[in-house]
Structure 1
Amino acid sequence: MQDVNLKTIEQRLLWLSHWMIHNANHLRAKQDGIKIGGHQASSASMVSIMTALYFSALRPEDRVAVKPHASPVFHAMQYLMGQISREKLQAFRGFGGAQSYPSRTKDVDDVDFSTGSVGLGVAITSFASIIQDYVTSKSWGADRPLGRMVALVGDAELDEGNVYECLQEGWKNDLRNVWWVVDYNRQSLDGIVHEGLFQRIEKTFDAFGWDVVKVKYGKLQRAAFEEPGGIALRDWIDRCSNSEYAALTFMGGSVWRQQLMNDLGDQGDLTALIERRSDDELADLMENLGGNCVQTMAEVFDAIDHDRPVCFLAYTIKGWGTPIAGHKDNHGGLMTTAQMDTWQDHMGVEKGEEWDPFATVPDPQALRRYLDDVPFFAQGRRRYQDATLPVPALAAPQDREISTQMAFGKILDGLAKAQTALSDRIVTTSPDVTGTTSLGPWVNRRKLFGRNPRPDVFKSHKIPSTAKWEFSPDGQHIELGIAEMNLCLLLAAGGLSTSLFGRRLIPIGTVYDPFVSRALDALNYACYQDARFMLVGTPSGVTLAPEGGAHQSIGTPLVGMSQPGLTAFEPAFADELAIIMEWAFGYLQADDGGSVYLRLSTNPLEQIGPRGGDSFAADVIEGGYWLREPGPNCDVVIAYQGVVAPEAIAAAGMIGNGRRDIGVLAVTSADRLHAGWSAAQKSRAGGRHMAPSQIERLLGNLPGHCSILTVIDGHPATLSWLGGVGGHRVMPCGVEEFGQTGTIGDLYHQFGLDAHAIAARVATLTPGRNLCT
């Protein structure tokens, strides 16, 4: 009876997913002539796999990353289960409708992982499994059931390099409880996948300790192979090229018959096998590949009785079951209205019943009873919560001279010493730069995570070392190889731990700031699904002078400003950093919060001295404060962000005799200042009263003739917008070219960031008058 129900569900999902797309492109009113799309063929090739997976194999603790182009099947499935409205489906790919690709934050469906940037939804399942192991290894998470992390993968997604970086990292971390189901339809956007790809896939996965399960033949084909002549038919299928198989599928049963007879000739038993079937029956047989046979897929999934990672290589027909099956242009192709009318008759759906979830079902009540008992959906929506962790007060290091990177390490070390709920839930990670980003003291106290304990061999041999690399299930640091994409995918998985596993984590990842750009796709992906984490980019800028241009970041402040879901700070002093980190630990947990990016430096600065009070802390968090408040006749303000603070302060001192009312604006977050200013403007434009934003308050009393000189060890566009707040002239100073090796002084002089250069720029504001002393 299960086979019958699964087949019924499969056909319902096939119809609903395709009708949803057809409605969006051909029936719904359009405001423009742009194709809406929806990937009918890519949905069709996945429908049997998803039916078997969701309605037979999965349990509530399992999590799935759905192939982006199979989103219509996912939405149709939710609709069949009563978890999404018809209106959402009717608005598919429209404003407020079901999303083009599954989205945790934009869809009302119970989406486990957002997908859309191909390859990333595949890889995050491996990191989610590592995070699941991390959570369940702790006393506060040991009661959680272990689920399988499943990725539904388009075969073309395996071209993405991050997939293979992920495989290596999984091997290092004893990966388990991961299934990747490859929709091996052998067609991509531009054509047919290369012959023999599956052989390379098998070898690759085998090398990293995965089981590979090849699902090539469906139930009809396996039965035919048992008939006289069946072995010869199987051998012909195995020899047939991807392109030929796709073309024959598109042309249909009579062409299948002709091709088989031409290739094989009269072979008695095989000829009889073919002749016993009508054209339609022969087409059904030849297109009954394993991935398009719901019974076969259910049996294959059910046969897995271990927790080793598994790659299912499921052979499918792209566009299976539809008039566009097999055509090489069908990736973005759509059935025409005429094709849909014919197909509707074939599917047995009456006019007016297109949206009926149970149309064509002989016994709707029996199917509803079956659906009510499907284990995966039994618990309803699977989004968990966890208590908010209290944030202790963080004390800034009291060193007279210290860098923000070193201060970060000391603040974390203080948390490591403390026995608090927050410190116990922090998990740190880094792509092979743990020691050089100041995570060493934290790791020495809190150990590295490993499911199986491993001692520090150097310690065992009593060899002195500053690093204590001891692995333990209790450890709170996950060490990664040099792959920044993996870093942000692990942060994404850790940042979703509350929702996925019901246990809150505070993930902190460190990376050399220049290499934040390597991880931008994964960083954007993490933020898109509202994962919560702290990303620390350090060291940064041309301040990393001896390392040369390849290690000197320029555009990362703009990344921090432009990335939705990520709030960026670049403090200059340790007390600012302590305030920001304390705030950030609460912000990561807030319903209306997000993730945080800290851009730090290795350049030690002389600290200003004790500063405190709620007002100072609030200004630091809002994004800026007056380090030197301007007087009533101010005609020059020097605004700086980050490590160039001493140069800005010194320059102000140089020109102070000529301009005693000069102001020095300390910007701790251009991102926060700009966001507040933008929000205030939008509110007023909408007719709502809005108090001045932080930057409007700071600049509100400046005379109109005042000029603002901005300074940052990064791209000058980060601060050059300040002139738009009050209409003041801006002279931006920063870095717009790759640097070279040298001293900090060399590079600051080259880019006009030293105090004398800043003062000289100020002098040009008043022609004929030298303000430098």
Structure 2
Amino acid sequence: MAVAHLKTIEQRLLWLSHWMIHHANHIRPKEDAIKVGGHQASSASMVSIMTALYFSALRPEDRVAVKPHASPLFHAMQYLMGNLPREKMEAFRGFGGAQSYPSRTKDVDDVDFSTGSVGLGVAITSFAALIQDYIAAKPWGGERPMGRMVALVGDAELDEGNVYECLQEGWKNDLRNTWWIIDYNRQSLDGIVHEGLFQRIEKTFDAFGWDLVKVKYGALQRAAFEEPGGDRLREWIDRCPNTEYSALTFMGGAVWRQRLMEDLGDQGDVSALIDRRSDAELADLMENLGGNCVQTMADTFAAIDHDRPVCFLAYTVKGWGTPIAGHKDNHGGLMTPKQMAEWQAHMGVPEGKEWDPFATVKNPSSLRAFLKKVPFFAGGPRRLQDAVLPVPAIAVPGEREIATQMAFGKILDELAKGDSDLAERIVTTSPDVTGTTSLGPWVNRRRLFARGARPDVFKAHNIPSTAKWEFSPAGQHIELGIAEMNLCLLLAAAGLSHSLFGRRLIPVGTVYDPFVARALDALNYACYQGARFLLVGTPSGMTLAPEGGAHQSIGQPLIGMSQAGLTAFEPAFADELAIIMEWAFEHIQRSGLPEPDPRTWLADAAGGAVYLRLTTNPLEQPMARTDAAFRQGVIDGGYWLRRPGPNCEAVIAYQGAIAGEAIRAAGMIGNDRRDIGVLAVTSADRLHAGWTAAQRARTNGKAEARSRVEALLADLPPHAAIATVIDGHPATLSWLGSVIGHRTLPLGVEAFGQTGTIGDLYRHFGIDAASIAGRVGAMTPGRRLAT
């Protein structure tokens, strides 16, 4: 009975997913002639796999990353279960409708992991499994059952390099409870998968300790192989090239018969095996690959009785069960209205009942009873929660001269010494730059994580070392190899732990700032999911000058400004950093409505991830600043370090490590002009976001809306000029002149530097104190400028 129900569900999901796509492209009114799309063929190849997985194998604690192009099937499944309203289905790929690809933050159904940028949804499951192990090893981890982290994988996704990068990390961390189910339909956007490719991929999985389960033949094929002559049919299937098998599938039963008789016909057992079947039955037999057989897939999943990582290689037909099955152009192709009408008749769906979830079900009450008992759905929505952790006050490091990178390490070290709930939940990670990004003191106190204890060999041999690399289940640092994509995927998984596993983590990842760009796809993916973490990029700009241009970041401030879901700061001083980190630890735990604060027009209540751009260049620290206005200014994104007066001729606005040069330049100009303003920008991101939000609010009738940056510049005389300077791309701050309408001189870096000292490179790019002073003087002619 269970198999019969699974078959019924499979056919219902096949119809509903394809009708949803057809409706979006051919029935729903359109404003233009652009194809809406929806990947009918890629959904069809997954229908048996997903039916068997969700309605037979999964339990509520399991988590699934759905192949992006199987999104219509996922939505159809949720619709069948009553978890998605019809209007969302009807608006598929439209504004406010079911999303093109599964989205945790945009879809209303129960998406575990967003997918869409191919390969990333695959890889995050292995890091989610690692985070699950991390939580289970802790005394506060609770008794929640261990779930399987499952990825439904398109075979073409295995072209993505990040998939193989994560395999290595999984092997290093003794990966468990991870399933990857590969939809091996052998067709991608541009063609057919090359012959023999998966023989090499199989060896890769074996090398990294995965079990490989091939699911090649369905129940019909296995039964046929038992008939006289069946062994020769199996040999023919095994030898048939991918392209040929796809083409024959598209052409159908009569062509299958002709080809098989030509190649195998013997006027004996094989001929009889073929002749016993009609054209339609023969087509069903040849298309009954393992991944297109719901019974086979259910039995295969049920046979796994261990927690080792498993890769299922499920052979499928792309477009299975539809008129476009097998055609090499079917990846983005759609059934025509004529094909859909004929297929609707074939599927037995009455006209006018297309959206009825049970339209073709002979005994709806029996199926409904079955669906109510499906374990995966029995507990309802599976989004979990955990309490917000109180953030202790963060003290400012007391050094008179210090770099923000060093201050960051000292702040974490002080947290490590304490016993706060926040410190207990911090998990740090870094792509092979732990010591050089100032995480060393934290790791020495809190140790490295591993499922089993591993001693520090250097310590065991009494070899002096500043690094104490002891691994244990109690450790709070996860060591990574030098792959920045893995860093952001791990941060994404850890940053969703409160929702996935019911235990909140405070993930902190460090990376060389120039190499944030390497991780950009995964960083965007993490933010798109709504993951919460603190990413620390250091050293910023050219402050690692002796390493040359390859280790100098230029566009990273613009990344921080443009990345949705990420708030970027670039403090210059240790007291600013302490304030920002205290705020950040609270911000990454927030989950309120995205309503703007009328003071700043920033939607802080919604929370998000945070990016800090820090420096190795030590600066002389200002005297203690503890007033509330200063603290608020740092968080809001900027404050007046030197407030301009009514006769101000020029303002120097700076962000980050260039503070020392900007302040010295103001002092040089001050020898001739007393009224020079200095604007300390801690976050161009927040100032700009508040400004654009306030402009939108005014457009929408809220005339009183004023942003932080508008308040800062409100009293600046119209004739005053603004010189902006940053150790990064000048566009980061160049917009400041547009806020009210001041002349602006944007200074910064727009090319790769070379090896040298910081001073050499600052002079080369014209952002040293003397150059800044000279350029500001040229903006305000008629006065002598002392330099």
Please indicate, yes or no, whether the TM-score normalized by the shorter chain is above 0.5: yes
Over residues 579-630 of structure 1, what are the superposed CA-to-partner deviations in whole Å (9 max), with x where a residue is unaligned?
A: 0000000000011100000000000111012001211110000000010111
Structure 1 partner of 2:601: none
- For 2:668, give the aligned amino acid: M
TM-score (norm 1): 1.00
Residues 212-251 of structure 1 aligned to structure 2 (within 5 Å): 212-251=212-251
Residues 93-492 of structure 1 aligned to structure 2 (within 5 Å): 93-492=93-492
> Counterparts of 1:477 and 1:343 in 2: how far apart (Å)?
55
Q: Is the 8 A contact 2:697 2:705 kept in 1?
A: no
TM-superposed CA distance for 1:527, in Å, is 0.2
Over residues 334-379 of structure 1, what are the superposed CA-to-partner deviations in whole Å (9 max), with x where a residue is unaligned?
A: 0000000000000000000000000110000000000000000011
- For 1:301, give the aligned amino acid: F
Does structure 1 residue 570 correspond to structure 2 residue 570? Answer: yes
Does structure 1 residue 641 correspond to structure 2 residue 649? Answer: no
Over residues 620-671 of structure 1, what are the superposed CA-to-partner deviations in whole Å (9 max), with x where a residue is unaligned?
A: 0000001011111001000000011111011001010322110000000000
> Counterparts of 1:495 and 1:453 in 2: how far apart (Å)?
25
TM-superposed CA distance for 1:767, in Å, is 3.2
Structure 2 partner of 1:609: 623
Structure 2 partner of 1:714: 728
> Counterparts of 2:372 and 2:143 in 1: how far apart (Å)?
27
- For 2:768, give the aligned amino acid: D
> Counterparts of 1:359 and 1:119 in 2: how far apart (Å)?
36
> What secondary structure is seen at the aligned counterpart in 2 of 1:329?
coil
2:757 aligned to which of 704, 722, 743 = 743
Structure 2 partner of 1:600: 614
Structure 1 partner of 2:42: 42
TM-superposed CA distance for 1:109, in Å, is 0.7
> Counterparts of 2:287 and 2:52 in 1: how far apart (Å)?
18
TM-superposed CA distance for 1:693, in Å, is 1.2
Q: Is the 8 A contact 1:763 1:772 kept in 2?
A: no
Structure 2 partner of 1:655: 669
> Counterparts of 2:705 and 2:32 in 1: how far apart (Å)?
39
> Counterparts of 2:30 and 2:180 in 1: how far apart (Å)?
38
Structure 1 partner of 2:594: none
Q: Is the 8 A contact 2:639 2:680 kept in 1?
A: yes
605-614 or 499-508: bigger deviation: 605-614
**Count of matched residue pairs:** 773
> Counterparts of 1:217 and 1:278 in 2: how far apart (Å)?
20
> Counterparts of 1:689 and 1:584 in 2: how far apart (Å)?
31
Over residues 15-38 of structure 1, what are the superposed CA-to-partner deviations in whole Å (9 max), with x where a residue is unaligned?
A: 000000000000000001100000
Structure 2 partner of 1:693: 707
2:776 aligned to which of 756, 762, 768 = 762
> Counterparts of 1:19 and 1:257 in 2: how far apart (Å)?
31
> What secondary structure is seen at the aligned counterpart in 1 of 2:214?
strand
> Counterparts of 1:239 and 1:615 in 2: how far apart (Å)?
75
- For 1:743, give the aligned amino acid: T
Structure 1 partner of 2:644: 630
- For 1:638, give the aligned amino acid: I
TM-superposed CA distance for 1:692, in Å, is 2.1
Q: Is the 8 A contact 2:570 2:656 kept in 1?
A: yes
TM-superposed CA distance for 1:389, in Å, is 0.2
- Superposition misfits of 4+ residues, deviation over 6 angstroms: none
- For 2:313, give the aligned amino acid: L
> Counterparts of 1:772 and 1:698 in 2: how far apart (Å)?
28
655-664 or 235-244: bigger deviation: 655-664
> Counterparts of 2:346 and 2:21 in 1: how far apart (Å)?
18
TM-superposed CA distance for 1:469, in Å, is 0.2
> Counterparts of 1:452 and 1:639 in 2: how far apart (Å)?
51
TM-superposed CA distance for 1:755, in Å, is 0.5
Q: Is the 8 A contact 2:41 2:318 kept in 1?
A: yes
> Counterparts of 1:766 and 1:178 in 2: how far apart (Å)?
65
TM-superposed CA distance for 1:267, in Å, is 5.0
> What secondary structure is seen at the aligned counterpart in 1 of 2:779?
coil
Structure 1 partner of 2:603: none
> What secondary structure is seen at the aligned counterpart in 2 of 1:764?
helix
Identity %: 80
TM-superposed CA distance for 1:769, in Å, is 3.8
> Counterparts of 2:250 and 2:400 in 1: how far apart (Å)?
75
610-619 or 364-373: bigger deviation: 610-619
Does structure 1 residue 728 correspond to structure 2 residue 746? Answer: no
Q: Is the 8 A contact 1:290 1:314 kept in 2?
A: yes
> What secondary structure is seen at the aligned counterpart in 1 of 2:430?
strand
Q: Is the 8 A contact 2:649 2:780 kept in 1?
A: no
- For 1:644, give the aligned amino acid: I
> Counterparts of 1:325 and 1:691 in 2: how far apart (Å)?
56
TM-superposed CA distance for 1:303, in Å, is 0.2
TM-superposed CA distance for 1:760, in Å, is 0.6
> Counterparts of 2:702 and 2:349 in 1: how far apart (Å)?
51
Over residues 440-481 of structure 1, what are the superposed CA-to-partner deviations in whole Å (9 max), with x where a residue is unaligned?
A: 000000000000000101111111100000001000000100
Over residues 353-409 of structure 1, what are the superposed CA-to-partner deviations in whole Å (9 max), with x where a residue is unaligned?
A: 000000110000000000000000011000011000000000010000100000000
> Counterparts of 1:159 and 1:772 in 2: how far apart (Å)?
61
TM-superposed CA distance for 1:544, in Å, is 1.2
> Counterparts of 2:102 and 2:403 in 1: how far apart (Å)?
43
Structure 2 partner of 1:76: 76
> Counterparts of 2:386 and 2:675 in 1: how far apart (Å)?
52
Over residues 91-118 of structure 1, what are the superposed CA-to-partner deviations in whole Å (9 max), with x where a residue is unaligned?
A: 0000000000000000001000000000
- For 2:368, give the aligned amino acid: R
Structure 1 partner of 2:59: 59
TM-superposed CA distance for 1:196, in Å, is 1.1
> What secondary structure is seen at the aligned counterpart in 2 of 1:673?
helix
Over residues 515-548 of structure 1, what are the superposed CA-to-partner deviations in whole Å (9 max), with x where a residue is unaligned?
A: 0000000000000010000000001111211010
Structure 1 partner of 2:530: 530
Structure 1 partner of 2:85: 85
> What secondary structure is seen at the aligned counterpart in 2 of 1:335?
coil
> What secondary structure is seen at the aligned counterpart in 2 of 1:384?
coil
- For 2:527, give the aligned amino acid: C
TM-superposed CA distance for 1:768, in Å, is 5.1
Q: Is the 8 A contact 2:88 2:96 kept in 1?
A: yes
> What secondary structure is seen at the aligned counterpart in 1 of 2:763?
helix
TM-superposed CA distance for 1:263, in Å, is 1.3
Residues 512-527 of structure 1 aligned to structure 2 (within 5 Å): 512-527=512-527
- For 1:387, give the aligned amino acid: A
Q: Is the 8 A contact 1:683 1:689 kept in 2?
A: yes
Structure 1 partner of 2:698: 684
- For 2:323, give the aligned amino acid: P
- For 1:408, give the aligned amino acid: F
> Counterparts of 1:610 and 1:525 in 2: how far apart (Å)?
40
RMSD, matched Cα: 0.7
- For 1:711, give the aligned amino acid: V
- For 1:26, give the aligned amino acid: H
Over residues 233-261 of structure 1, what are the superposed CA-to-partner deviations in whole Å (9 max), with x where a residue is unaligned?
A: 00000000000000000000010000011
> Counterparts of 1:536 and 1:599 in 2: how far apart (Å)?
6
Structure 2 partner of 1:665: 679
In structure 1, the gaps of 5 or more residues are none
TM-superposed CA distance for 1:753, in Å, is 1.1
> Counterparts of 1:768 and 1:197 in 2: how far apart (Å)?
73
> Counterparts of 2:618 and 2:333 in 1: how far apart (Å)?
59
Q: Is the 8 A contact 1:452 1:472 kept in 2?
A: yes
- For 2:777, give the aligned amino acid: A
